[in-house]
Amino acid sequence: MAYSEKVIDHYNNPRNVGTLNKDSKFVGTGLVGAPECGDVMRLQIEVGEDNVITDAKFKTFGCGSAIASSSLATEWLKGKTIDEALAIDNMDIVEELALPPVKIHCSVLAEDAIKSAINDYRVKNGLEAIALEKSHH
């Protein structure tokens, strides 16, 4: 299967690879997927004043599309408010990266990772977790 140019670009030059201090109360961490399934994403956000995401980092175990989806997600997250980040839909990722149907689950995982990171941040800061609707399109 041929990858789109955008997937190859994110794969070869992944943006925002790394680790934020998961113990900081300004940092939310989402760890989704399972090694048995061949995909694990860890996505972290650092939230500043006015609920704006000031930094985002990822590490992903998975195929090229999974790596590209999470790399793209960190790019989109920076500078967004939490509410804006919650509005990111997996199909936006599918469209941007031109993922084929068999790789849509990679984008679903990226969306789950974003929501999971936001929830981790919310819970740390005494807010209620948002119910995660499983976004299987």
Helix locations, 57-103, DSSP H: 64-77, 82-86, 90-97
Pick the piece of the chain touching other proteins (CB under 8 A) from 13-21, 48-56, 72-80, 82-90: 13-21
Contact with other proteins (CB under 8 A) among 4, 9, 11, 15? 11
Question: What binding mask, one character per residue, do residues 97-126 give for other proteins by CB under 8 A, x or -?
Answer: -----x--x--xx--x--------------
H or E stretch including 40?
strand 39-47
CA quadruple 60, 63, 6, 120: dihedral positive or negative? negative
- Residue 36 to residue 39: CA distance in whole angstroms: 8
**Shortest Å, Cβ 63 to other proteins:** 4
Q: Which of 37, 87, 98, 123 is catalytic?
A: 37
Contact with other proteins (CB under 8 A) among 10, 20, 39, 53? 39
For helices 64-77 and 104-124, the axis angle rounded to 10 degrees is 40
Which residues are designated catalytic? 37, 106
